Structure 1
Amino acid sequence: LQDNQISDIEPLSKLTQITLLRLNDNKIKDVMPLVRLSKLTHLYLTRNQISDITFIGALTQLNELALGGDQFRDITFLADLTNLRMLWLWGSQIRDITPLKKLTQLKGLNLHDTQIRDITVLGGMTKLTWLRIHKNAINDITPLANLTQLTGILLQENQITNIKPLARLKKLDSLSLQKNQIDDITPLKGLTRLKELNLGGNQITDITPIQNLRNLTSFWAWDNEITDITPLTELIQMEKLWLWGNQISDLTPLTHLTDLEELSLGINKISDLTPITGATKLELLDIDRNQITDISLIVKFPKLRSLNLRGNPIQDMEPLQKLLKQNDKLKVDIPASNELNIEPPPANR
């Protein structure tokens, strides 16, 4: 029943044997009829217009509950739903999450885009395997140190400076920390299971701690203060690497990253592309606003689908003309001062 125009759910009150109900994306204001559905184990009510959600507290058999996108503030009605395993409360006006204290069986929790600052109660939820608390006002993540079963956590867009509590989370394979106030990533050095790591939009200068994270396939460290990327030298499983907005000039450490499919290096100090010519699987290459004059090496990337060359003092555009004739799927951003006159490939004439 999700994604409709439903506003009246009174007829559902007779379905007393139902265990799963999806009512996301409707226009429901009154959920009182659901109180009679005592056998419900899965209830999804995100993005409605619910004014009073407290009746949900009577559904004590719930294993999964999704209430994201509604503007409620008080979640005391959840205090006794101790059978919950998955809970979504994103996009609400919640400030106090202490009513969740007894929900220690939770394995997944989504509290993103609320107004929470204090996450003390999360320290007791030791069975959590995934946690989304991004886009809040959190600055102290000490309680997370106890959550050693976590495999994925989203912490971006908070006010975090100290990430020491993350050092114990050895099972993490995905971690997002972008847009915080982090300058020291030393606590991440032992998180060797990480496959995806996002550190963009912080104040990081030294990425040495990630040099042994050899399972990384995706690394984002855009908009930082990085000059030396030597720690990336042996991260040969890397497929996506976003480093735009730093102070990088030497790409030599990327020589052996031949599995790269996406490489974003815009707004740096790069003049030589030679070290990345082995990355023949590249589909996206962003090198805008650097110091590149010679683009003859771009013919080494036959699989390119997106190429950004803007803001470079390129002297000869002939290599690009050649590549475009061979690759009709390539989309290019070029410096305004350079003009191309490209004949379409024979198949498209």
Structure 2
Amino acid sequence: MNKVLITFLAGINMTSIAFGQYDANMNLWINNLDQAKLIPERVYKLDLSNQSLDTIPEIIESFKNLRLLKLSDNNISSIDGRLDNLTKLEYVELSGNRIKELNFNEFRGSRFTLDELWVRNNRLREVDSSLNILSNLSILNLGSNQIKVFPANLDLSRLVNLQLDDNQFTSLPPSIAQAVKLKILNLYGNHLSEFVMPNSFRNLKMLNIGDNPVDTIDFGGQRLKLEMLILDWIPVEAFNLAILPPTIKVLSIEHCGLKTINGLLHLKNLEELSIIQNEVQSIPYEIQNLKKLRKFWIGGNPVTDTANIPASVEVIK
């Protein structure tokens, strides 16, 4: 037995664990399959990221108590039924692989327990309605793929956090508009020509629509809980910034051709503001009405006088 395994085993109580009894191994991330094979019933967290895997190892099927699984940054192109029989998975990360198609029935064993799924930076072109089988899913990260559409019958009503940055959406899919529990939505770097806030987004707190060719933005007249908004790389001078919800606490308007911040002075709850790389030359006295403002990024602007900025605000150039 090699020294690594001897050291590993020395720190583990190998006595049997009674049903329901706390096992200290639950807090241990295992990143070596040879180690895991010695205690298959006590593998709760397994990290096989960046190990040049072409397939998911078959032995994983024997880790019946596995909760958290990381398989990122490998060469995996399919799941091959290796996760079917795992019934306790709560978190799976498959980012940075070569997956072109994903049937979510591959996770049917953990369809009632899987809470968070990452499949970003793969080669996905579509997502089908098999996703609906994951009845406990609240966080879904599909960023950096090639997805253009979602099927109309996709059920996203349980999602709280949806990451779709750097895909190829040209409009907001109707199925996303039904995600009534959504708190975080990232659509950065798609091909959206407009963004109209659905009435169902009453719980949304963080929205990123930066780097889209947007020519229409509409937040509607609804009561919103939106606290963080990212509009980077959008030509905001074409919009009436008064449409921005007054609930916003964190606002990023970077690389937008912004010439003045006068249109932002109604945001009385603003705590952090970034206008990096714009064309703002002066800061109006009225910025002092933003009583909650604490951080202000102004780098890359031809601002010469910051005297109007209150002393309580940290100015970052």
- For the residue of structure 2 that corresponds to 1:277, the secondary structure is helix
Match of 1:279 among 272, 285, 290: 290
Whether the 8 Å CA contact 1:32–1:55 is kept in 2: the answer is no
Identity of aligned residues (%): 22
- Give 1:239's aligned amino acid: K
- Give 2:242's aligned amino acid: T
- Give 1:182's aligned amino acid: L
Whether the 8 Å CA contact 1:46–1:68 is kept in 2: the answer is yes
Q: How does 1:222-237 map to 2 (within 5 A)?
A: 222-227=232-237, 228=239, 229-232=241-244, 235-237=245-247
The number of residue pairs the alignment matches comes to: 296
Q: Deviations over 1:36-59 (max 9, x none)?
A: 52354x222143537462210122
Q: How large is the RMSD of aligned CA atoms in angstroms?
A: 3.3
Tell me what 1:202 maps to. Answer: 212
CA distance, structure 2, for counterparts of residue 238 and residue 306 of structure 1: 19
Deviation at 1:291, TM superposition (A): 6.3
- Give 2:243's aligned amino acid: P
TM-score in terms of structure 2 length? 0.78
CA distance, structure 1, for counterparts of residue 100 and residue 7 of structure 2: 29
- For the residue of structure 2 that corresponds to 1:219, the secondary structure is strand
Deviation at 1:168, TM superposition (A): 0.5
Deviation at 1:117, TM superposition (A): 2.5
Tell me what 2:124 maps to. Answer: 116
- Give 1:20's aligned amino acid: M
| Cα separation, partners in 2 of 1:32 and 1:279, compared to 1, 3 Å | closer
- Give 1:74's aligned amino acid: S
CA distance, structure 1, for counterparts of residue 277 and residue 212 of structure 2: 16
Deviation at 1:15, TM superposition (A): 6.5
Tell me what 2:168 maps to. Answer: 159
CA distance, structure 2, for counterparts of residue 135 and residue 293 of structure 1: 39
- For the residue of structure 1 that corresponds to 2:123, the secondary structure is coil
Whether the 8 Å CA contact 1:109–1:130 is kept in 2: the answer is yes
Whether the 8 Å CA contact 2:99–2:124 is kept in 1: the answer is yes
Deviation at 1:265, TM superposition (A): 2.1
CA distance, structure 1, for counterparts of residue 160 and residue 281 of structure 2: 39
CA distance, structure 2, for counterparts of residue 38 and residue 179 of structure 1: 43
Please identify the structure whose Cα radius of gyration is greater. Answer: 1
Q: Deviations over 1:115-163 (max 9, x none)?
A: 3233213233232111112122222233784020111111112222222
Tell me what 1:57 maps to. Answer: 61
CA distance, structure 2, for counterparts of residue 46 and residue 178 of structure 1: 29
Q: How does 1:39-188 map to 2 (within 5 A)?
A: 40=43, 42-47=44-49, 49=51, 51=53, 53-76=57-80, 77-98=82-103, 100=106, 102=108, 103-105=110-112, 106-120=114-128, 121-142=130-151, 145-164=154-173, 165-188=175-198
Whether the 8 Å CA contact 1:222–1:246 is kept in 2: the answer is yes
* Structure 1 residue ranges without an equivalent (≥5): 309-349
| Cα separation, partners in 2 of 1:6 and 1:230, compared to 1, 3 Å | farther
* Structure 2 residue ranges without an equivalent (≥5): 18-22
